[in-house]
A and B are shown apart, each in its own frame.
Chain A
Amino acid sequence: MNRRLTRVDELKRDIPPGRDLWPAISAAIEADKAAAATPPVAARRRAAWLPVAGMAAAVGLVAIGVLIGLSFAPQVDTPPVANTPTYGSPEMMPAAYRNQRDALLIEVQAKLSSMPEVERKKVASSLATLRRSIDEIEAALGRDPANALLQELFVSSCQEEMRALTAVRDSGSQET
């Protein structure tokens, strides 16, 4: 029967799925319970956190490495190099952040092209490591979206990356 409505909130809120989804959910729950019951649980949980903690440490170290490297890097003009690495996009961040980062990346690519080869490789590799770390955190967050610690880690890592990218972009201008 096709009801006639005068308000949007009169629409049905409950629309049952066409098939029973419980068997698949139940199977996943049983698998989760079985995994959780495998001893030693505490050690397994610690182990699960180790990669994330490692990534967090890597983000900090790489960012510091980029900043220190740039402080001592000699600024020498070299011909532009076409194949400088590019980095993935942080899809979980707001559009304004993504736009700002995209604009910054263009400037950073130009800056990398003008760096001496050794220095360019070092900085590009550090930035790529930083991006990989963020991708790992983002993937972990995809599996556990409600995890406040991961959310915080993700945001601070993105901020760290923005600081590192800004430092790379501004590295030549400070000395001129």
Chain B
Amino acid sequence: MPTAPALNEPYAPSESKGRDHLEALLRHRQLDHTLWGLTPVPVRGSDPIPTRWLVPTGIAPLDARLEGGLPRGHLSEVVGPRSSGRLAVAVSALAGATSRGEAVALIDPLDMFDPVSAAAHHIDFPRMLWVRGEATSSSRVSLSLEYGTLQKSLDRGVKALNIVLQAGGFGLVVLDLGEVATQAIKRLPYTTWLRLQRVIESSDTACVLVGSEPIARSSGGVTVLLAPGSGLPAEASFITARVVRSRAIESDHHVRVPLSAAAC
């Protein structure tokens, strides 16, 4: 806990010292977030981020690794191979947000979300906006048509994400790119993600991208890397995760966390 500077302390004329003085004063009064906008930049060794600026995933060990949850106002990602639990982590976070009375959104470009299986996480569906793209899982489409449809669905999904983020008012917005081919994602201009980050950086919305490989993460966001699971349904209640931050020294420590409805 930093000590509060005395108000009668002589004011230094230099700009840097004056800023330090002001920051210390604001930090003491828990108003330090005003220095960087709505969301403070997490710096290792500094004060912990207030929990109101985080969106817990609802999985206690993972939240502990995330130091509270996914940061608001930033672009984070949950990535991993198939059946690694990436969608379960996202749905768990969505369920936790709805239980706190927040509105959430799921952008589903390929229309693959299954409400019945997600209901096990006690998600409050009336608070969840579901934007469904076109399903492309037909087994009889030609390769060119399939790729064209896929790219179109992806473009629409990103546009829908942009619209939802611009509207504001959502605590958590998830874009599910888990089954979108990596080549299609790479065809998107990289400025796409910069623009999305620009949209949410002054808001209290946490945006999460779900994919098979790292896609994009803002400077204050986190990447949750999920390791391939055993693939056995009997052990499907456990996931192996590693958290990567851009501004923190990250160890290779993996955490194996239980993924159960009770953890939500």
Verify that A and B bind, or say they do not: no
Binding site for B on A (CB under 8 A): none
Binding site for A on B (CB under 8 A): none
